[in-house]
């Protein structure tokens, strides 16, 4: 405020000493920006500190920020004073009004050569008040001075307001004029079909109101080497976890998040990042995605969030961003996404690959971000060469999606709740390393058995074997079709094959259920091989059988059991 007051006093004294003639006006050029959004952000910053701040279209996609207009003498004197006080960049200079194009700031201030006004046109407080800022003839003349981008902005705002549904081409034809009339009628103006300067101002104020509280600001992150406009009212920089600068939610908008993507790389690393990001919780599976030679885009959506990611490879660096936003807030999300996309600019610098904190290093995290996890996992048995799998019906009872070994899609082909068995069919034929061979005949009580299963879900890359004995040929209450095992298994082992000492399948491990009673840790249950075979045959699966095999040493038994065991994952 003090800087603004000092500046205003300097300008006021200069204007009091010698009023400038219109033909002798000049500006103090202080900055130029290569995007409209970046320029608008800087204009807001300067306007908070200085008076007489103007923004102009310079052409070729550049926008200038200038102070004025003043007489040449005033401009030169003020330039020296402001530079000496450090209020403006040291390379600022005096510029002619004729070098500037359409004015973009403040709205409605007129062309560069126009005399300054005490204040911008008043906005309407209620739709019933009629604007008297311009006559229709003056409004048409002001409209004629709009460049193509400004005319497109009017169409965009009219489309957002629900009055325009045609191409954004900057041509004010009959469709645009009709939309203007409809908007004018809806807001209490005479329906002339030509928006006055104040009406355009009101239209843009409506359009921008959706971003109230988002505090869109230009962020220049020199560690990541990215300049971009971000909603700092909703997110704030939290930490760096290579390859991301992570902007976490501040609480204003739950689940809002922005990642700046920055890492050294080539096309191979670009493809790897594309695959890795699809495993993150913040990138839901449903949505469009595309990988090109030098970039990718990822869109993911579910009932909680919508995320959009894009990255490009240039000069040995991969840079981009991810926006995560709550589902159901599409109007604000699409507006913020458009701002991110239009303002994104790679600058010098790339995030150090070693920028990873200790807390971010975990098997269920990538750069500190959670990997998408199944709601439960179980084990299964490959039962034929096409990759069909037998598992427990409880494991797949309420799955939105099922995968085998973490990546192959599958569906429930058949299910027998009485037996507790489900049969899964892969979406495409698989080639398992080993398939089950079911034992004919009844194994001996107290004989050695082993269970192959994914005890720890997908934490370990392969199944493990647990050894025990066959305790009984019935369940605890004498149930037929179930074997009781003396073995200490884990929840993730359910669905895995129970093997005899020769590697033949004598059953399938099922979840422990004692009617609410607590069982000793070394008690387990398995569906008998003949009952399991019956379910498979009813599903049309041709299985292999054997009367028995020679005893295998533990190493060979482990190899056979692991090769026929599948990881079954149930997803939301």
List the alpha helices (DSSP H) in 249-311: 267-277
Res 183: pLDDT: 95
Preceding omega of 243 cis (within 30 degrees of 0) = yes
Res 131: pLDDT: 42
Q: What are phi and psi of 296, to 5 degrees?
A: -150, 160
- Please report the domains of the chain, with CATH numbers, ordered by start residue: 2-105 (3.30.70.1070), 140-211 (1.10.101), 216-370 (3.40.1000.10), 376-571 (2.40.10.120)
Res 312: pLDDT: 96
Dihedral sign (CA 260, 264, 270, 272): negative
Dihedral sign (CA 426, 417, 373, 560): negative
Res 51: pLDDT: 85
Res 437: pLDDT: 93
Q: Which residues of the chain carry a pLDDT beneath 70? A: 1-23, 107-133, 356-368, 370-371, 514-518
Res 128: pLDDT: 34
Res 136: pLDDT: 86
pLDDT digits (tens, 9 = 90+) for 109-160: 555 655 443 333 222 233 333 444 688 889 999 899 888 888 998 998 999 8
pLDDT digits (tens, 9 = 90+) for 24-77: 789 999 998 877 777 888 888 888 888 889 998 887 777 899 999 998 888 888
Res 453: pLDDT: 93
Q: Is 498:509 a contact under the CB 8 Å cutoff?
A: yes
**How far apart, in whole angstroms, are the C-alpha atoms of residue 546 and residue 529?**
11
- 234 alpha carbon, distance to own chain's centre: 15
Res 110: pLDDT: 54
Residue with tokens 């205003």: 8
Res 123: pLDDT: 28
Largest CA distance in the chain: 113
In this structure, the chain runs to a length of 572
Retrieve residue 224's tokens. Answer: 């990541």
Res 546: pLDDT: 83
Retrieve residue 104's tokens. Answer: 């973009």
For 74-103, give one letter per residue: b (16+ CB within 10 A) or e: bbebbbebbbeeebbeeebebbebeebbbb
Res 154: pLDDT: 92
Question: Is 401 strand, coil or helix?
Answer: strand
**How far apart, in whole angstroms, are the C-alpha atoms of residue 181 and residue 185?**
6
Dihedral sign (CA 35, 41, 45, 47): positive
């Amino acid at each position: 405020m003090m800087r603004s007051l000092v500046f205003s006093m300097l300008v006021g004294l200069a204007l009091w000493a010698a009023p400038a003639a219109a033909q002798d006006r000049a500006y103090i050029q202080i900055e130029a920006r290569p995007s409209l959004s970046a320029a608008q952000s800087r204009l807001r910053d300067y306007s908070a500190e200085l008076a007489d701040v103007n923004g102009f279209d310079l052409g070729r996609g550049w926008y200038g920020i200038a102070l004025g207009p003043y007489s040449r003498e005033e401009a030169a004197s003020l330039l020296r004073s402001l530079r000496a006080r450090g209020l403006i960049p040291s390379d600022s200079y005096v510029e002619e009004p004729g070098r500037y194009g359409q004015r973009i700031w403040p709205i409605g201030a007129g062309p560069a050569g126009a005399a300054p006004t005490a204040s911008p046109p008043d906005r309407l407080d209620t739709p019933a008040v009629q604007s008297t800022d311009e006559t229709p003839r003056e409004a048409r003349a002001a409209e004629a001075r709009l460049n193509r981008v400004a005319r497109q902005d009017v169409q965009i705002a009219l489309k957002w307001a629900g009055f325009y549904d045609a191409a954004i081409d900057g041509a004010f034809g009959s469709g645009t004029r009709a939309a203007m009339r409809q908007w004018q009628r809806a807001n209490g103006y005479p329906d002339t079909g030509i928006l006055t300067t104040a009406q355009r101002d009101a239209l843009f104020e409506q359009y921008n109101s959706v971003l109230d509280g988002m505090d869109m600001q230009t962020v220049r992150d020199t560690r990541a080497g990215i300049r971009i406009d971000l909603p700092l009212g909703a997110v704030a920089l939290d930490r760096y976890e290579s390859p991301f600068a992570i902007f976490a939610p501040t609480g204003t908008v739950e689940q809002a998040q922005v990642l700046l993507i920055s890492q050294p790389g080539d096309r191979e690393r670009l493809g790897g990042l594309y695959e890795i990001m699809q495993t993150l919780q913040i990138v839901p599976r449903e949505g469009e995605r595309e990988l090109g030679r030098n970039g990718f885009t990822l869109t993911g959506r579910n009932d909680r969030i919508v995320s959009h990611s894009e990255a490009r490879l240039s000069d040995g660096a991969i840079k981009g961003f991810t926006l995560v936003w709550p589902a159901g807030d599409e109007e604000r999300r699409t507006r913020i996404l458009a701002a991110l996309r239009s303002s994104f600019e790679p600058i010098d610098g790339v995030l150090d690959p070693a920028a990873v904190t200790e807390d971010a290093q975990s098997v269920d995290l990538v750069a500190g971000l959670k990997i998408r996890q199944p709601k439960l996992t179980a084990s299964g048995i490959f039962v034929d060469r096409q990759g069909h799998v037998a598992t427990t019906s409880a494991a797949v009872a309420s799955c939105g999606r099922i995968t085998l070994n973490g990546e192959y899609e599958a569906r429930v082909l058949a299910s027998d709740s009485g037996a507790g068995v489900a049969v899964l069919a892969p979406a495409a034929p698989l080639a398992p390393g080993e398939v089950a061979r079911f034992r004919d005949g009844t194994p001996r009580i107290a004989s050695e058995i082993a269970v192959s299963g994914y005890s720890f879900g997908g934490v370990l890359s392969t199944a493990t074997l647990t050894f025990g004995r066959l305790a009984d040929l019935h369940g605890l209450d004498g149930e037929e079709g179930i074997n009781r095992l003396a073995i200490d298994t884990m929840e993730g082992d359910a669905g895995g094959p129970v093997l005899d000492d020769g590697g033949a399948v004598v059953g399938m491990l099922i979840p422990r259920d004692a009617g609410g009673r607590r069982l000793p840790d070394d008690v387990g249950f398995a569906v008998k091989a003949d009952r399991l075979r019956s379910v498979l045959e009813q599903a049309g699966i041709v299985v292999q059988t054997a009367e028995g095999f020679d005893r295998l040493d533990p190493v060979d038994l482990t190899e056979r059991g692991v090769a026929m065991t599948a990881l079954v994952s149930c997803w939301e």
